[in-house]
Structure 1
Amino acid sequence: MITAFKPAVAVDYHFTPEEKQRFTEALASITANPYTAFPAFQLAVRQLIAQERVPHSFVDACRTARARDLVAHPFHFLTNCPIDEGVPPFDFERPVQSKYELKKTFIGEGFLITYAELMGTPSIGYTNVNAGDIVHDIYPQKALYKSQSQKTLLPIGFHKDLANHFVRPDFVNILGMRSHAENEIFTTFVRNSDLLQHLGPDIERILREPNFYTPYDDLTTYNDKDSRLGQAAMHPVVQGAVDFVYFENRTIAYSDEGKEAITRLNEALHALKGRVLMRPGDFVSSSNNTGLHGKDVGEIRDAYQHKIRWSIKTVNVADLEPHRQHYKEYVPGHYAVVNG
């Protein structure tokens, strides 16, 4: 059996079996497809909330979470959440298209959008990622299985999602849909405030200099066929109070002291990290500006189950309006799709 690891984050809310059943039934009543008719899907979610068909204790838990100190508590961890049951595995070569064909219920998607609504954090899409879908799969794909993206079979370094993109999300929300208990695939977490304390002021000073470069993420550039994005800009790693604009093993330094600071940062990440073996129905919301996350892959006892491991995710912002110059599609107060 796998060694039990202490979770990096405490369970903030657990759906009782009765709550999960009632909430699942409510979400199953939505007939709109979030991939072809997202506005109608979002409206149906809002109607469920207005009709008080979402468990009251969950609504209260989200209200409490909205008020939390994101520096001290960047991660919000929920368990036994509603998910779709019995969805067939997707095709390894074309998993997104396969999902469109095979997935007939949208309970997991409904949960993610409900959470976004209750937290007041609108979901956004990107034209270069699955043609602007709002909900995405963390699911392996043959063409990208060696990448540093949501379609890889490999470990993923600690990172801020879309670390050097011109529209960076404030939150990354992930819901486990299918996993195999005997495969050691861990979601990893570090609080940025812990990193700064561990590194000390001298290393922090170096990391605040604009002498670092992070390429655009693999999934974005994979679909950027005409290279519209160009090259990402140089940047400091540490910005603002505790924000790390960083992707382990991708962010590089252009000075010797910067290279040493990156080495020290990577050492700190793995000295401080906690990790969770996420099960179906486990959910985590990560504050993209006050915490870093990644993926560790240990022993794989079932290679096929590794290839069909599946989570779904959204990326969310605290406010849509500041980014509106970058939107291709924008419904104020609802959602947006970034042109890039």
Structure 2
Amino acid sequence: MQPFYELSDAERDELAAVLGAVRENPYEDYPVFSRAVAAVVERGAVPEFFTKVTGEIRAERESGRSDAHVLRNCPMDPEVPELDHDDPLADKYAKKKTFVGETLLELFGQLTGTPLLAYDTRFNGDFFTDVVAINRYSGKQTGFSDGELVFHNDRTAHPVRADFISLLGMRCPEGDYIYTGFVGGRSLLTHLTDEEQEILRKPYFITPFDVFSRDNNSSLTVSEAHPILLRQHSIRYLDTHTTVAPDSPPEAKDALLALKNALVRADKTRHRILTGDLFSFANQDGLHSRDKVEINDPVRARERWLLKTYAFRDEAAAERHADRWIDGVRGRVGD
């Protein structure tokens, strides 16, 4: 996938200076941090090129022209620590003393009009999380493993799911080829009949909670019965895991098989995230995957680290979940 925009070195350095001036710690007090970034916007300190680029991305999303965008050569923290794979979160807290990456992702969310989302029981309720290999999840179907991931939405089984995901390449080894796949909901629909789509829009399906969610909340087992297709072209699906709910009619299984066939046939995009890439894509209006195309050094490949945010589609989408805010923190929800 070609970048939507590649920052020149001068643009990167100009934006880095603005981001680096924000000193608040997003892991200690996110609302204070978010307001500090908003103040940067309000006083007109954001470089004009970045305001223009994020405005164009917002317009493409709203028009339906594209649900996936890459910005290349983005500002990075002056030091990107290596994280311990037994407890990378605690290691990040101890070692990461600057927040350029976090400020970039927060600014991107504000300028595209997509408020950030966090889960209270995951990563201490942080709004900025790490896609990094954790030893105890090796070989498991979770973003915190060192393996591949089937096509899915993040948090498929949960009642509150992000509309957009953004990934910033903090450390992406050059000698190993790991791609993030994306298939849009519109593309999937072209391979499904009207009758199949009608069945997939009914609450005939269930999805088990992922292992990481279960470890953080033992009461989570399986979702309520839910449709797979929602709204115009949104999708709620975890390949090889979402299945037909008990007592659903036989045609539900046929429709599920049709969806699996559509997923194979649909046009897809794949992007290899490089260090300094910001890859932002729709979580509900599409599905994404992790494909390990060529791993030349498995130990080195495990050092891959992406900084990640979840976001709502817009302010109105966020407000629909206002009754779920934890401790009054806007955007932080429970399970």
TM-score after normalising by structure 1? 0.90
Task: Answer yes or no: is 1:23 the counterpart of 2:15.
Answer: yes
Structure 2: distance between partners of 1:168 and 1:204: 21
Counterpart in 1 of 2:256?
Answer: 262
Match of 2:308 among 297, 313, 324: 313
Q: CA RMSD in A?
A: 1.9
1:237 aligns with 2:235: no
1:137 shift after superposition: 0.5
Q: Deviations over 1:53-74 (max 9, x none)?
A: 3221110121222222464411
Q: Decide which of 131, 140, 143 is 1:138's aligned counterpart.
A: 131
- Cα distance change, pair 181–84 in 1 and its aligned pair in 2 (3 A): same
**1: CA distance between counterparts of 2:258 and 2:207?**
17
1:156 corresponds, among 149, 156, 169, to 149
Deviating more after overlay: 62-71 vs 292-301: 62-71
Q: State the partner residue of 1:304.
A: 299
- List runs of 5+ in structure 1 lacking aligned partners: 1-6
Residue of 113, 121, 128 corresponding to 1:120? 113
Deviation at 1:222, TM superposition (A): 1.7
**Could you tell me the percent identity over the aligned residues?**
32
State the secondary structure of the residue aligned to 1:295: strand
Deviation, 1:230, is 5.7
Q: CA-to-partner distance for each residue in 1:207-254, whole Å, 9 max, x for gaps?
A: 2232111122332222004x1x46410111111211111111111124
Aligned counterparts, 1:215-294, within 5 A: 215-225=208-218, 227=219, 229=220, 231-254=222-245, 256-271=250-265, 272-294=267-289
Aligned to 1:13: 5
Partner of 1:54: 46
Deviations 1:76-108 (A, max 9, x none): 221111122432211111011111111111111
1:170 to 163, 177, 188: 163
Find the counterpart in structure 1 of residue 28 from structure 2: 36
Corresponding position: 1:204 with 2:202: no
Secondary structure of 2:144's aligned partner: coil
The one of 51, 57, 66 equivalent to 1:73 is 66
| TM-score w.r.t. length of structure 2 | 0.91
CA distance in 2 between counterparts of 1:60 and 1:282 reads: 18
Seen in structure 2, the aligned counterparts of structure 1 residues 201 and 234 have a Cα distance that, compared at 3 Å, is same
Contact 1:75 1:291 in 2 (8 A): no
Q: Partner amino acid for 1:234?
A: A
Distance in 2 (alpha carbons) for counterparts of 1:217 and 1:92: 19
Tell me the secondary structure at the aligned position of residue 76 of structure 1. strand
> How far, CA to CA, are the matches of 2:45 and 2:276 in structure 1?
19
* Paired AA for residue 41 in structure 2: I
- Shift in CA distance, 305/77, structure 1 to aligned 2, threshold 3 Å: same
Aligned to 2:326: 328
- 5 Å-filtered alignment, 1:174-185, equals 174-185=167-178
Which shifted more, 22-31 or 229-238? 229-238
Please list the CA deviations of residues 246-277 of structure 1 after superposition, one character each: whole Å capped at 9, or x if unmatched. 11111112465433433332333233222111
Equivalent in the alignment of 1:89: 82
Contact 1:70 1:287 in 2 (8 A): no
User: How many pairs does the alignment contain?
Assistant: 327
Q: Distance in 2 between matches of 1:151 and 1:259?
A: 30
